């Protein structure tokens, strides 16, 4: 008698949706599910392996013996193998032993839908039902108000393994992070936190971007329910949670998705489209219905089961173009003879439609570095349908400008002003991400020129410019206190530096900028609209000064921003202003509390001298290497 009981969670409708690539809740059916059949408790298993000759569940419950528990293949040509195994309980370790029709080789694979995995370097899946009593109802009910495009978006990007370590080397657990990280992000005033990939990954130096367990939070830091607690605690503090999501590629690890059932099941069979030369990894077959359903189900899973508020989609540019990182002859044009990956484009559109159609108040954010048109335009207008896109050009130009000796900046002022020629073509988020502080690029602080005082003054100014530029903001951990070294994923951030005035001054700047951003509608009401920005002066090369107005829905909220990119103070610097009312200083990056020189006037009364196209103007004192904001 078979030790596997015939049982199924699938209806005919489920199978029809799956084959059509339209089943976006596959995690409710595929994988392992604790259940009861005919009064007997156990686990139902289901796995997609259409090229398999046989599929067995092996695990610690049967001494990893492939002859003990062979699953039944469905009769409907779906390629799904399934069955109920009595007595298999929570925490049972298992894999699928797959014998392929295509060869004589049998492979042992982790469950693509596993909810929990052994801690690497071990690779088994675990039967798991993550129970959690959510306490974030207030946030979820009001999320649409907090998470809209007309709300502040100040994101703290975190690598959980290296944010802080205990005893100098141990990871903080999800539960410890739920206390320490949540309180810190709240104290610093960020509106959102973004986690570099938390889905299970085998190789630490990949930073999580090579996934093998798409439906499992990594076991490095604890159990799945502990990760739910971490998200819950952020929500209780009014902080949104964004996850890095990687639908662009996956590793060739033997237990992973690659060559899953002896065939190119998840990856594209043509190596020109199924292999990524940069990352030595496999690329999903976006034209295969069941693969699209797998990926979209995965996006939905984190929003549904973990209450996540947004997905930052990694490496979108690599998905959009067939010739990405390829030489002539290494890629094949599409049916129209150009280089766009039509199947990937179609997949991204469908993913965004399903995400926004299923959840209120969520956002998807594209890491997309090219000039591909319409990334953040709605799908029904021909766009990809993302909520936001990283403004990689701004990041590159800004850092190139700031690293210059101030004596040369006057010749390159256009590097700072150029972003405003395209700032409103997409809904842009301004990122200073982890990629900018690795591989010899140096920390943000050490990208700044000059002596110690000038480095810190430049960094304070850089952050002020970032927060007052239109768009959302993202800052990688460590940048908020001026970490000296490049980021190292194996080590904790250099928290000891915050005892020094210059570094604690940077921390105070970020706190105050977050408060400024969140409490001044001029900085977020119209952050993705040209109506929210107006130049005052963008071509004062002689003084290397730029000035602009940020505008909210109510004109009384308007703010005047002036940047002095040189270490030379500017006395009696005239700036045209649109109104006759008195101006009050609300932020000065040179304030003494930040370890600046403390120059600058607290209030300004406009006079009747016309300037910069305005009927009135003010005379300012511009501190060295500073940004000042008046309201």
Q: Write out the catalytic residue numbers.
A: 314, 367
- Rounded to 5 degrees, φ, ψ at 494 are -85, 70
The Cα-based distances of 327 to 271, 284, 324, 522 in angstroms read 14, 20, 9, 46
Which 3-state string (H, E, C) describes 167-182? CCCEECCHHHHHHHHH
Helix (H) or strand (E) holding 46: strand 40-48
- Rounded to 5 degrees, φ, ψ at 36 are -135, 130
The whole-angstrom separation of Cα 374 and Cα 608 is: 44
Helix (H, G, I), strand (E, B) or coil at 420: helix
The whole-angstrom separation of Cα 303 and Cα 360 is: 10
The whole-angstrom separation of Cα 365 and Cα 176 is: 28
Signed CA dihedral, 70, 76, 79, 83: sign only: negative
Say whether the peptide bond before residue 97 is cis (omega within 30 degrees of 0).
Answer: no
**Tokens representing residue 173 in the block:** 């657990």
Signed CA dihedral, 400, 404, 406, 412: sign only: negative
Q: Which residue do the tokens 């367990």 mark?
A: 213
Which stretches of 49-169 are assigned E, i.e. beta strand?
52-59, 72-73, 80-86, 93-100, 106-109, 116-117, 125-126, 154-158, 165-166
Torsion (CA) 422, 424, 429, 432 in degrees, nearest 10: 30
**Tokens representing residue 468 in the block:** 């007052």
Give Cα 70 distance to the centre of its chain: 40
Longest Cα separation, the chain: 97
By DSSP bridging, strand 93-100 and strand 116-117 are unpaired
Signed CA dihedral, 253, 255, 258, 262: sign only: positive
């Amino acid at each position: 008698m078979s030790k596997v009981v015939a049982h199924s969670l699938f209806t005919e409708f489920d199978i029809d949706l799956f084959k059509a690539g339209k089943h976006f809740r596959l995690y409710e059916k595929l994988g392992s599910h604790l259940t009861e059949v005919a009064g007997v408790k156990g686990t139902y298993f289901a796995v997609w392996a259409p090229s398999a000759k046989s599929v067995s569940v092996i695990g610690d419950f049967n001494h990893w013996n492939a002859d003990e528990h062979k699953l039944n293949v469905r009769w409907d040509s779906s390629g799904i193998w399934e069955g109920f195994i009595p007595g298999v309980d929570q925490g049972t370790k298992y894999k699928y032993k797959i014998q392929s029709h295509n060869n004589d080789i049998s492979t042992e694979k982790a469950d693509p839908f596993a909810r929990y995995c052994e801690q690497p370097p071990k690779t088994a899946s675990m039967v798991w039902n993550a129970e959690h009593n959510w306490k974030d109802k207030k946030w979820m009910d009001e999320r649409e108000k907090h998470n809209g495009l007309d709300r502040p978006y100040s994101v703290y990007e975190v690598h959980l393994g290296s944010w802080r370590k205990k005893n100098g080397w141990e990871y903080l657990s999800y539960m410890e992070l739920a206390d320490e990280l949540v309180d810190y992000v709240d104290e610093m005033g960020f509106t959102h936190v973004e986690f570099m990939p938390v889905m299970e990954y085998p190789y630490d130096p990949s930073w999580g971007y090579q996934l093998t367990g798409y439906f499992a939070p990594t076991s490095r830091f604890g159990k799945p329910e502990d990760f739910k607690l971490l998200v819950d605690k952020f929500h209780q503090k009014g902080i949104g949670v964004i996850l890095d999501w990687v639908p662009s590629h996956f590793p060739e690890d033997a237990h992973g998705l690659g060559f899953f059932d002896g065939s190119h099941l998840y990856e594209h069979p043509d190596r020109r489209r199924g292999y990524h030369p940069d990352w030595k990894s496999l690329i999903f077959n976006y034209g295969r219905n069941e693969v699209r359903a797998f990926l979209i189900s995965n996006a939905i899973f984190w929003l549904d089961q973990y209450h996540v508020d947004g997905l930052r989609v990694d490496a979108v540019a690599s998905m959009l173009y067939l010739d990405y990182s390829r030489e002539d002859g290494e890629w094949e044009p599409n049916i129209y003879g150009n280089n766009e990956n039509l199947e990937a484009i179609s997949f991204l559109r469908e993913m965004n439609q399903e995400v926004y159609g299923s959840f209120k108040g969520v956002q998807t954010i594209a890491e997309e570095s090219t000039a591909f048109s319409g990334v953040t335009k709605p799908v029904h207008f021909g766009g990809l349908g993302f909520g936001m896109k990283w403004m990689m050009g701004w990041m590159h130009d800004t850092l190139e400008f700031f690293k210059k000796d101030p004596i040369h900046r006057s010749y390159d002022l256009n590097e700072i002003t150029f972003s405003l020629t395209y700032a409103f073509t997409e809904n842009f988020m301004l990122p200073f991400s982890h990629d900018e502080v690795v591989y010899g690029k140096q920390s943000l602080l050490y990208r700044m020129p000059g002596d110690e005082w000038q480095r810190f003054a430049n960094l304070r100014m850089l952050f002020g410019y970032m927060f007052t530029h239109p768009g959302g903001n993202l800052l990688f951990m460590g940048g908020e206190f001026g970490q000296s070294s490049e980021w190292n994923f194996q080590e904790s951030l250099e928290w000891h530096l915050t005892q020094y005035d210059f570094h604690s001054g940077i921390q105070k700047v970020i706190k105050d900028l977050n408060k400024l951003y969140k409490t001044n509608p001029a900085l977020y009401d119209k952050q993705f609209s040209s109506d929210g920005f107006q130049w005052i002066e963008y071509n004062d090369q002689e003084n290397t000064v730029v000035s602009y107005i940020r505008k909210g829905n109510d004109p009384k909220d308007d703010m005047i921003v002036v940047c002095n990119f040189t270490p030379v103070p500017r006395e009696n610097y005239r700036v045209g202003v649109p109104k006759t009312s008195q101006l009050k200083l609300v932020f000065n990056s040179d304030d003494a509390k930040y370890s600046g020189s403390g120059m600058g006037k607290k209030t300004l009364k406009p006079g009747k001298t016309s300037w910069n196209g305005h009927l009135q103007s003010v005379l300012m004192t511009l501190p060295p290497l500073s940004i000042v904001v008046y309201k």
